[in-house]
């Protein structure tokens, strides 16, 4: 397999046998991670994580939404990256 230029990015066409073996198919959402010398592709979990200070978690446990938490959550769900 060879990495190829796709516009201003670099792409990789995955063979059907690899997709079949992985259970992935065209259109699936995936997560891509990288480490020196490797790239890993796996099915996206659909989960998002919002890191919060312990004090905010305590307020949420009491049924109260701390100032700014709702804004951070909306930004994260809209794909705003780091919050």
pTM of the model: 0.51
Domain 4-43 annotated CATH 3.30.1450: no
Task: For residue 77, give the DSSP letter.
Answer: H
83 residues of the chain, pLDDT tens digit each: 899 999 999 999 999 999 999 999 998 889 898 999 999 998 887 777 788 899 999 999 999 998 889 888 888 777 655 55
The pair of structure tokens assigned to 60 is 């949420």
CB atoms within 10 A of CB 18: 11
76 three-state secondary structure: helix
DSSP 13-75: PPPHHHHHHHT--TT--EEEEEETTEEEEEE----------HHHHHHHHTT---TTHHHHHHH
For the chain, residues classed under CATH 2.10.260 are: 4-43
């Amino acid at each position: 397999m060879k990495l190829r230029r796709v516009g201003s990015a670099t792409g990789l066409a995955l063979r059907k046998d690899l997709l079949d073996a992985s259970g992935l198919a065209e259109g699936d959402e995936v997560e891509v991670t990288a480490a020196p010398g490797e790239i890993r592709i796996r099915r996206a979990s659909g989960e998002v994580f919002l890191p919060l200070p312990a004090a905010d978690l305590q307020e949420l446990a009491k049924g109260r939404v701390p100032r700014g938490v709702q804004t951070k959550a909306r930004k994260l769900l809209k794909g705003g990256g780091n919050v």
